[in-house]
Amino acid sequence: MSKTILKLEHITKSYQDGSGKNLVLNDVSLDVNGGELVAIVGPSGSGKSTFLTIAGMLLSPDAGAITINGERVSDSKKKNWTKIRHEHIGFIFQSHQLLPYLKGLEQLTLFQDKKNRDKVNAPDMFTELGIEKCKNQYPSEMSGGEKQRIAIARAFINDPDIILADEPTASLDGARGRQVVEMIRLEVKKREKAAVMVTHDERVLDLADRVYRLENGALTQNNEK
Amino acid sequence: MLAWKELFYGKKKYLLIELLITLLIFMVLFLSGLAEGLGRAVVAGIDNLDAAYFLLSDSAEDIITVSNVSADTYGQLSSQTDGELAALDIQRMYLCRQNDDEKLNIVYFAIEPGSFLEPKTIEGVSLSESDAENPILLDDDFMLEGIKVGDTVLDSSTDIAFTVAGFVKDEMYGHVSIGFISIDTYTKLRTELNPMYQQEYHAIAIKDGNVDGVQIEDAQIVSKADIIQNVPSYTAEHMTITMIVWVLIIVSAAIIGIFYYILTLQKRRQFGVMKAIGVGMGRLSGIVIGQVCIIAVCGAVIAGLLTFGMAAALPETMPFYLKIGNALLVMAAFIFISIVSSLISIWNISKVDPITVIGGTDE
């Protein structure tokens, strides 16, 4: 059993909603191990995105702690968050969010730190993900699936500890969406990363190691698997 | 690196912006050349004199044309300073061509032939080399009136005839072209107008040397810069035009800033993504400043070349005068203000919250 990389403990978050308070996350805890892909499903507005932004050091919880690889990052000051995200977290967004003015390979290399070049080889990732032909293409010349695969590669490029994916299949059709999640799974297993994927795409849940449902601020594990 | 990639990718858009910026800087440089040229038309004659100081009478209040120092003073001054001296008279009159009643404006600068005040001729010979009785060196603007070397021209009030010995370049005083004559000729002229005329000078020029110990009654040493400042109307004209040029520089640079701000607003999401994946503000600021620098520097260089190219092609009479140093100052100020105005964009980027990238809709 691989060790726990991402540890979320007793996370609580509420928003001011008119006169009342809307409790989005109520004492939520989750552990993710290296090489494990966890999926979180739930109706829209259930707080999936909030959960991801807190895990991704973009938003601070009202209460609770976040530990990445033994480091309690939730204690650090906000101005250090960018650096924490840079070093520990790889994001895959709903839509690819590539920069329109960079060619495929540059999308990776221009954001990769020198020290990570030996650990993660950008051209190799293109081969692994089957998008070699996109190395010298601008995003406008690629298909949706290809762009999302480059986005996956970009998430891994600085050798992060955790991978957070926000609806990675939302802009793709069924078959392509499934391929993309397969790719994420492949890289997570190979590189021993802890991955959390928020999705409402029920067809790809079988690719996750564990599936949780977020509803009414509480996280419960699906039993069917 | 990112800065350049983006400019390259958006070639069409950024080239248009570059064109606009280039035209703006060109306009500023060109106007400052014209402004300087106009200023030169007032004081070039004084500015070109190879003298550091002038001895003027106290009552003149630094205005060279109303000063008068007696011939004796020359001797006194030479015993008090080690600098080389030369007398100077300035007189505004009219000139006529032979057999032509049309009066041409002229300012006589009367000097000792061969002294350090005598300018180099671009055509013909100098005053001292000429063997004519009353030689004159004319500003090249008179060439456009059809006057040639060897022609005879008349002083309109005395009918004293001058022989054109040669032409000099860029010699103007108070928007009027200058004619250099000898002190002897000048004395003849004055004596003709006033038989009681006693020789005196407007000023005595001092080439260089130490003037600290000079003590002469009713006279004072004035630097060339002060004399120029006190040429009637020069300071007021110059200030107005300089003001216009600087306002233009600031406005054009602000235009770059505003353009860039609009582009930044369109790219807020891209900046949000970069922030989310851990790109720090330092690098994002670098991209913005890098791009603004590239746009501003290229614009300044192209506009500079264009301006000097244009200046070479301009007709002689156009009062255009631009020193490389001044042009560089304008360009540097422009680049600096552009960078300062790009700080608004950087401030805007710093306000982008990367959280907006998560869970947002695809657009």
Contact at 8 Å (CB) between B238 and B316?
no
- Give B60-77 pLDDT, tens digit per residue: 888 888 888 888 888 888
Share of chain B above pLDDT 70, in %: 98
Residue B239 to residue A77: CA distance in whole angstroms: 53
Query: Tokens standing for B114?
Result: 């061969």
Residue A15 to residue A24: CA distance in whole angstroms: 7
Between CA B159 and CA B167, with CA B161 as vertex, the angle to 5 degrees is: 130
Q: How confident is the model at residue B362 (pLDDT cuts 50, 70, 90)?
A: very low
One-letter identity of residue B91? Q
Q: How confident is the model at residue A165 (pLDDT cuts 50, 70, 90)?
A: very high
Share of chain B above pLDDT 90, in %: 25
Q: How confident is the model at residue B207 (pLDDT cuts 50, 70, 90)?
A: confident
Q: Within 10 A of B338 (CB to CB), how many other CB atoms are there?
A: 25
The pLDDT value given to residue A224: 56
Is A53 in Cβ contact with B358 (below 8 Å)?
yes
Q: Which of A139, A84, A145 lies closest to A107 in space, CA to CA? A: A139
Average pLDDT (B49-55) is: 89
Average pLDDT (A135-142) is: 93
* Domain residue limits, chain B: 2-43+235-357, 46-230
Q: How confident is the model at residue B361 (pLDDT cuts 50, 70, 90)?
A: very low
Q: Please compute Rg for chain B using Cα positions.
A: 29
Share of chain A above pLDDT 90, in %: 56
Is A56 in Cβ contact with B280 (below 8 Å)?
no
Q: Could you give the strand order of the β-sheet that contains A71-72, starting from the edge strand earlier in sequence?
A: A20-33, A4-17, A63-68, A71-72
Average pLDDT (B34-44) is: 84
Considering only the beta carbons, identify the residue of B273, B277, B358 that sits closest to A52: B358
Return the C-alpha torsion angle B195, B198, B199, B202, nearest 10. Answer: -100
Between CA A157 and CA A161, with CA A160 as vertex, the angle to 5 degrees is: 150
**Mean of pLDDT over chain B:** 87
User: In A, which residues are within 8 Å of B8 by CB distance?
Assistant: 101
Q: Could you tell me the end-to-end alpha-carbon distance of chain B, in angstroms, rounded to an integer?
A: 27
The pLDDT value given to residue B180: 94
Q: Say whether A66 sits in a helix, a strand or coil.
A: strand
Q: How confident is the model at residue B169 (pLDDT cuts 50, 70, 90)?
A: confident
Contacts of B236 (CB under 8 A, 6+ apart): none
Contacts of B88 (CB under 8 A, 6+ apart): B49, B54, B64, B109, B110, B111, B117, B201, B202, B203, B204, B205
CA distance B4 to chain A (A): 10
- In this predicted structure, the answer to whether residue A225 has a pLDDT above a threshold of 70 is no
- Interface pTM, i.e. ipTM: 0.88
- In this predicted structure, the answer to whether residue B310 has a pLDDT above a threshold of 90 is no
Residue B349 to residue A129: CA distance in whole angstroms: 33
CA distance B290 to chain A (A): 16
- In this predicted structure, the answer to whether residue B263 has a pLDDT above a threshold of 60 is yes
For β-strands A218-221 and A210-215, DSSP reports them as antiparallel
CATH number of A35-60+75-221: 3.40.50.300
Considering only the beta carbons, identify the residue of B1, B8, B273 that sits closest to A110: B1
Contact at 8 Å (CB) between B191 and B107?
no
Burial B285-319 (b: 16+ CB within 10 A, else e): bebbbbbbeebbeebbebbbebbeeebeeeeeeeb
Is B359 in Cβ contact with A48 (below 8 Å)?
yes
The pLDDT value given to residue B132: 85
* Beta-bridge mates of residue B164: B136
